[in-house]
A = this chain, B = another copy of it.
Amino acid sequence: MKEKELINTIKSLLNSEYIGDDCAYLKDLEIVITQDSLVEDIHFSLKYTNAYQLGWKSVMVNISDICASGAKPEYLTVALSIPKYINSDFIKDFYKGAKDASKDVKIVGGDITGADKLYISIAAIGSTKGRKISSRANAKDGYKIIVSGEHGNSATGLKILKSEIDLKKDNDFFIKSHLMPQAKINFSKEIAMNIQCDYAMMDTSDGLADALVQIANSSNVKLKIDFDKIPHNKNVDMETVLYGGEDYELVAVVPESILSKISGYTIIGEAVSGKASVEINGQIIKNIENKIFNHFEENNEN
């Protein structure tokens, strides 16, 4: 069973209106909450990351989910399950990285247990006060599609780490993109504090194409993309720009009227009426599940 099918099954079982976006929006408490787990040898390998970088990325992944909602990242709890081969220096370095990544976001608790492999689960809370919260179901035809930065750099960094490619003097740049991503806090803030109407926003943790397909399907709109408009490094091929994950950029589908009030965006296309789909340079994206890296499927054939 694929991850998304399983999530749909759980959603209908729980009869929950909250599950669907990266964050759950708890209106009565004026917060959003998200939780993400990183599992050794599934989401990261200790061959490629050190403890500091791992702490940094684990925190940033969750801050990015809060940014995708438009909320202000405020608090984190960090649960670590630690195998015997992890020593206390590793744990200290992990927390140093976590703390440096969090900056003004406070780490307020969590849990430490034993385990066979290293397992990290982080919950993040954002405040919705003074912010308009996004939903992937809120794109409307006529809206512009904007992104916060370059796509494909993180996946390229992973290829370099795995020695699949060698970009010589550029290697360090791409490796840093993979190991120490930066959540787009300001991009999120400018939109969420200035926009008045409903809008869609996601981060590109599973790749830009996946985020676009999620928004198109949830909003029932067609998203038309001009590939050449997508910011990307000249060393990165089209496949990696579209399907490489973990850049933690933001993609938003917003009314044109907001654009004069925000900065640091690139328009890559627009939402039009039509069958829910993503069209890139005139070609409809199909079978995206087979193209993105599906952690769950790889590990579970049930």
* A260: chain B residues within 8 A (beta carbon): none
- Chain B residue nearest to A122 (CB atoms) is B35
Residue from the list B34, B83, B99, B300 in contact with A13, Cβ < 8 A: B99
* A111: chain B residues within 8 A (beta carbon): 35-37, 121
* A9: chain B residues within 8 A (beta carbon): 88, 91-92
A33 at the interface (CB under 8 A from B): yes
| A79→B121 contact, CB < 8 A | yes
- Chain B residue nearest to A30 (CB atoms) is B29
A130 at the interface (CB under 8 A from B): no
* A35: chain B residues within 8 A (beta carbon): 77-79, 109-111, 121, 123
Shortest CB distance A296–B (Å) = 5
Q: With a 10 A CB-CB cut-off, give which of A33, A86, A125 has the most chain B CB atoms.
A: A33
A contacts with B: majority SS: mixed
Q: With a 10 A CB-CB cut-off, give which of A37, A84, A91, A299 has the most chain B CB atoms.
A: A37
A258 at the interface (CB under 8 A from B): no
9 pairs of residues in contact across A and B, judged by CB atoms under 8 Å: A19-B108, A26-B108, A26-B125, A35-B110, A39-B115, A39-B119, A79-B121, A111-B121, A114-B296
Contacts from A to B (Cβ < 8 Å): 1, 3, 6-7, 9-10, 13-14, 16, 18-19, 23-24, 26, 28-31, 33-37, 39, 41-43, 74-75, 77-79, 81-84, 86-88, 91-92, 95-96, 99, 106-117, 119, 121, 123, 125, 127, 295-296, 298-302
Task: Give 10 nearest A-B pairs by CB, closest first.
Answer: A114-B299, A121-B121, A123-B123, A24-B108, A18-B108, A35-B77, A24-B109, A87-B302, A37-B79, A1-B88
